[in-house]
Amino acid sequence: MSEKTESAYGGASAPRGRGPRGGAPSSATEGSVSPTEASVKKLTVPEIVAMKRDGKRITMMTAYDVAFARLVDRAGIDIILVGDSAGMVMLGYPNTVPVTMDNMVQMAAAVSRGATRPVLVGDMPFGSYQTGPQDALRNASRFLKEAGMDAVKIEGGHETVETVRALVDNGISVMAHVGLTPQRVAMLGGFKTQARSARAARRLIDDAVALEEAGAFSIVLESIPAPVAAMVTERLDIPTIGIGAGAECDGQVLVLHDVLGLFGEFKPKFAKRYADIGSQVVDALRAFDNEVRTGAFPDAEHSFTMKDSELAALRESTTRPKAV
């Protein structure tokens, strides 16, 4: 790619080396607003693209319901991904393959009712786009029309280029996804790091370039060696969002349940647990269980009452013999 290129999402790109990694001052630290102030204004896809040009790091988090969407929004996260990871963490499947479009649209709609500032991305589930651009267009349109999403995400490399181009040509913003693609976990032999050989890494880089040229506004790099992710990030003018791809990506994403310790003891190598909410939930539920069994809950504070006169009248009416 050239040092300075035109982008459909935001004009000319700044020369490489700007921002935190290049040493030049960044507006991310000068005059930036707090998440509370920023929450007033809805972020857009072009603004996400511009964050790379401005040297600002991008944050992305999954969410699947209205309650957590509100919390992710309040935290100042830039992008919410309604991921098909819901198949595992919400629906109990062993992988993401069984998730349907109806599953995804329902969860995405809930998220859009809870979050106002972040860019919202709906994850295209397995089978919703592999059959061709027309099916992909019909299914992707549901995310925008029925669920209020701003964009969709599609897994895959060169084989998805024409689909990405068709969606973008029809006004649908697309986030691409290469490296470990969980929808192909059976073909890949499990959740394994990808692009570890020079040949495989070169193929991944070529796929990323082709997806950018097809119109993708950003690309997720999952479970690939950090040096490979750094090369992709340097090569592209669109943002890279890493998950198990090292620190040189333009942004990072994690699964909410991994971050909060809500998915049992399972924790991928690349996931950092920032809280152990799961244990706190268990403690709270055990306390509830104990108080109900001992009669401590509900107490007067958590019960409703009525006027003494009304209670007396009720008691009298229930003891008075019925008229024959």
The catalytic residue positions are: 222
Q: Which two tokens stand for residue 231?
A: 């090369």
Side-chain half-sphere CA neighbours of 187 within 13 A: 8
Measure the CA–CA gap between 200 and 196, rounded to whole angstroms: 7
Burial label for 193, CB within 10 Å (0-12, 13-18, 19+), is middle
Measure the CA–CA gap between 297 and 301, rounded to whole angstroms: 10
Query: Given 3-state DSSP classes, what are the helix, strand and coil percentages for the chain, each rounded to the nearest 5?
Result: 40, 15, 45
Ranges assigned E (strand) in the chain:
6-7, 11-12, 58-62, 79-82, 119-123, 151-155, 173-179, 218-222, 240-243, 251-254
Q: Is the dihedral of CA 63, 69, 73, 74 positive or negative?
A: negative
Q: Are the CB atoms for 233 and 249 separated by under 8 Å? A: yes
DSSP 106-157: HHHHHHHHH-SSSEEEEEPPTTSSTT-HHHHHHHHHHHHHTT--SEEEEEBS
Burial label for 184, CB within 10 Å (0-12, 13-18, 19+), is middle
Whose tokens are 């198949």? That residue is 87
Beta bridge partners of 242: 221, 252
Q: Are the CB atoms for 51 and 250 separated by under 8 Å? A: yes
Give the amino acid at 71.
L
